[in-house]
């Protein structure tokens, strides 16, 4: 099995179709089982923390990964929790890079 966290996100130039259900099913096996594919459109996961500061530290760390990869997630931050949503905005769907970014967050 490929270590997705060691891969890099590849910029999407558009015109690429989103992943099929079979492709998504295969790729989700490379990331933590708390991730889910929502409506075939995006990946979503929520983390719990003991307080707001810990949740903020995680969000900033994940944001740094996004900047390094040039691929950005949407974050929802609250007291003791962070939710991330990942998809390739240019095609409004999932690509392999979305799973790579999720794997990188899993290492946090």
Task: Dump pLDDT digits (tens) for 80-107.
Answer: 999 999 999 889 999 999 999 999 999 8
Q: Distance (Å, rounded) from C-alpha 16 to C-alpha 93? A: 10
Domain edges within the chain: 18-106
- Mean pLDDT over all residues of the chain? 92
> Comparing 24 with 1, which gets the higher pLDDT?
24
The strand order across the sheet containing 81-86 reads: 36-38, 42-48, 81-86, 74-78
Q: Distance (Å, rounded) from C-alpha 104 to C-alpha 94? A: 16
Instruction: State pTM to two decimals.
Output: 0.92
Q: Report yes or no: 102 and 35 within 8 Å, Cβ to Cβ.
A: yes
95 closest CA partner among 32, 37, 47: 37
Instruction: List the CATH code of the domain at 18-106.
Output: 3.30.1360.20
């Amino acid at each position: 099995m490929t270590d997705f966290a060691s891969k890099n996100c590849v910029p999407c130039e558009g015109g690429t179709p989103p992943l099929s259900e079979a492709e998504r099913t295969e790729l989700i096996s490379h990331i933590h089982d708390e991730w889910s594919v929502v409506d075939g459109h995006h990946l979503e996961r929520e983390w719990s923390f003991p307080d707001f500061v810990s949740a903020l530290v995680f969000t900033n760390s994940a944001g740094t990964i996004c900047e390094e990869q040039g691929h950005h997630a949407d974050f929802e931050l609250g007291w003791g929790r962070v939710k991330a949503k990942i998809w390739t905005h240019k095609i409004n769907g999932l690509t392999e890079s979305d799973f790579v970014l999720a794997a990188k967050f899993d290492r946090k």
